Amino acid sequence: MKRMLVAALLAVVVCTAPGCHKKKKASPEASEAGPGIATTVHLGDPKSASQLLGGFYDIENGSWRWTGKQFTVELGRPFGAAQKGAVLELDLTVPAVVIEKSKSVTLAAALDGNVLPPETYGKPGEYTYRREIAPAMLGNGSVKVTFTLDKTIQAGGGDVRDLGIVATTASLKGK
């Protein structure tokens, strides 16, 4: 009995020691919009399709999607973003064929109608379109982000799609 009491006291002392009280962080997928709206959308994941509101083509190579000229994604608002703001990120690739045919492509975005600064890509490669989002722009729950490209290319070879960029991940991250 005495050993059990000593063990219990020892457990209390250890668990109240400095450093034992780490705050749990919300998972990167957690959202104030509810359990069905993620803050991060992996475009190669079929489970993310409900948050893709238009302008995306089918998954390719199990990990990415071509976009059209305009494409929209719904993202959950991260916990605490109403007070601190958030960061919008779109991980993308500008394929060499797009630059060969168009010389450059400009990507613009609007978050629930609030226009964000565009970014122009003149070389093929992987990029992250990243913009700081003020708390006042986030509203309640989820947000709709509409991306627009100034140019697309014709797929060709019997494929009638207008192709923009390759998108892999869209996210709204807390600060």
* SS (HEC) of 29-46: CCCCCCCCCCCEEECCCH
Flag whether 7 is in a domain. Answer: no
Flag whether 11 is in a domain. Answer: no
**Interatomic CA distance for residues 47 and 133, integer angstroms:** 26
| Residue 41's CATH number | 2.60.120.260
Coil vs helix vs strand at 94:
strand
- Report the candidate in 151, 97, 161 with the shortest Cα–Cα distance to residue 123: 97
Flag whether 16 is in a domain. Answer: no
Which of 3-12, 41-50, 84-93, 120-129 is predicted with the least confidence, judged by mean pLDDT? 3-12
CB 163 within 8 A of CB 64: no
Flag whether 10 is in a domain. Answer: no
Predicted local distance difference test score (pLDDT) of residue 141: 85
Coil vs helix vs strand at 160:
strand
Predicted local distance difference test score (pLDDT) of residue 35: 54
- In tens, the pLDDT along 56-87 reads 999 999 999 999 999 999 999 999 998 999 99
CB 45 within 8 A of CB 136: no
Domain count, the chain: 1
Flag whether 19 is in a domain. Answer: no
Flag whether 146 is in a domain. Answer: yes
What the block records as the tokens of 100 is: 């060969």
Looking at every residue in the chain, the average pLDDT score rounds to 84
Flag whether 165 is in a domain. Answer: yes
**Interatomic CA distance for residues 123 and 47, integer angstroms:** 32
CB 86 within 8 A of CB 175: yes
pTM, full prediction: 0.80
Flag whether 9 is in a domain. Answer: no
- What dihedral angle (degrees, nearest 10) is formed by the CA atoms of 137, 75, 128, 60? -150
**Interatomic CA distance for residues 137 and 115, integer angstroms:** 10
83: containing domain: 26-174
